[in-house]
Every structure is written in C-alpha cells, then in structure tokens.
Amino acid sequence: MKELKILLSSEKNTLDLGKSISTCLTEGLLIFLKGDLGAGKTTLARGLINGLGYSGSVKSPTYSLIEQYEFDNFTLNHFDLYRFSSPDEWVSSGFQEYITSCNITLIEWPEKSYGFLPKPDLEIKLLYKNQGRASFIDSFTPKGNKCLENL
Ligand SMILES: Nc1ncnc2c1ncn2[C@@H]1O[C@H](COP(=O)(O)OP(=O)(O)OP(=O)(O)O)[C@@H](O)[C@H]1O
Ligand SMILES: [Mg+2]
C-alpha cells in the first residue's frame, strides 16, 4: 500500500490534482472519493473528467446518483451515494454492473455502501485544512500503485 499527501490551498489545486490523476489512469480503475460535505470530491472529479478531454460541465451526481461520460474506449461512471438510505441499495440499483474491466469508476460517499462495494484501487480523502484542503491518496492494488507511481 502506498500513500501520498498533497496540500490543496485553493479550488484550482483540487482541479489540478484531478487533472494529474487523469493522465495516469489505467483500464478499469475504481476510485473512492471520501471527505466531509463540501470537502471537494466533486471538484476533484471535475478536474479529472475535464482532464480526460470532456469539455462540458461536470455536474454533481448528488441527486441523479450517477453521471456518465463516454470516451472513445471506455465509459467513466461518477457516482454519489450520499442519498442511499441503506447500504444494499448498491445491489438493488444494479450499479455493480457498471464496474467493468475497462470502465473508470469514481464513487463519492462510498461509506454509504460499505460491505457491498468492491475494493477500490485508489482512495482519495479530502480534509478541511485552514482555508484549503489536505488530500491523502492511498492505493490498495497493483493497478492503483502503478497510477500513483506516475502521478
Ligand atoms: N482546495 C480547496 N480549497 C478551498 N476550497 C475548495 C478546494 N477544493 C474545492 N473547494 C471548494 O469546496 C466547495 C465544495 O466542493 P465540492 O462540491 O467539490 O465538495 P464535495 O466534497 O463534492 O461535497 P458533497 O459531499 O456535498 O458532494 C466548492 O465551492 C469548491 O470550490
Ligand atoms: Mg460532491
């Protein structure tokens, strides 16, 4: 397991971290985005998705639960499980089927479905620090390690 700590003193830093991660993604990567309300999870996802070349607006999936982005060779699925009322909604919603060996998956509020989600390759935690944020990036798989090495 590897861990990186990066200070993010402004929204732009969070967007830039997402952009950097977008350059070292590999097929099928599953990323958990953790942190309190307003910590910057969607902002990081926005930097990542725009970094992949999507030029439209990246909306928070808080109400829709999922936002999908189609790229040439894969789909990126961005989930926000905050509104789940029970952890097994992950199963009843059929969302597990969206995780494939080639799609990229981002999940905000994975805590809402612990016990039902697969192990992530990377977990990014955002913490409030002064006016900015601190980010901690952990990898749990060889695929995740490879991504972090290139970050
Ligand atoms: N490094 C940073 N420093 C200061 N403000 C930041 C930073 N990163 C993001 N923000 C700001 O934090 C606010 C909330 O961001 P965002 O919506 O991404 O949070 P979130 O973690 O997705 O929240 P939620 O849990 O509600 O989904 C935004 O106004 C954004 O500009
Ligand atoms: Mg969000």
Which atom of ligand 1 is least distant from the CA of 80?
27
Q: What percent of the chain has pLDDT over 70?
A: 99
What SS3 class is residue 9?
Answer: coil
Residue 103 tokens read as: 């799609």
Contact call for residues 14 and 8 (beta carbons, < 8 A): yes
pLDDT band at 100 (very low <50, low <70, confident <90, very high): very high
Percent of the chain, pLDDT > 90? Answer: 96
CA of 42 to the centre of ligand 1 (A): 7
- In the prediction, which pLDDT does 142 show? 94
| Separation between Cα atoms, residue 37 and residue 34, nearest integer Å | 9
For the chain, what is the domain count?
A: 1
**Is 83's pLDDT higher than 70?**
yes
**pLDDT(4) > 80:** yes
CATH number of domain containing 123: 3.40.50.300
Q: Beta strands 132-139 and 122-129: pairing type?
A: antiparallel
What is the pLDDT averaged over residues 24-43? 97
Atom of ligand 1 nearest to the CA of 45: 18
Of 42, 50, 60, 106, the one to substitute when testing ligand 1's pocket (max ligand atoms within 8 A of C-beta) is 42
Neighbour count for residue 32 (Cβ, 10 Å)? 23
- From atom 8 of ligand 1, which residue's Cα is the shortest distance away? 11
Q: Which domain holds residue 39?
A: 2-149
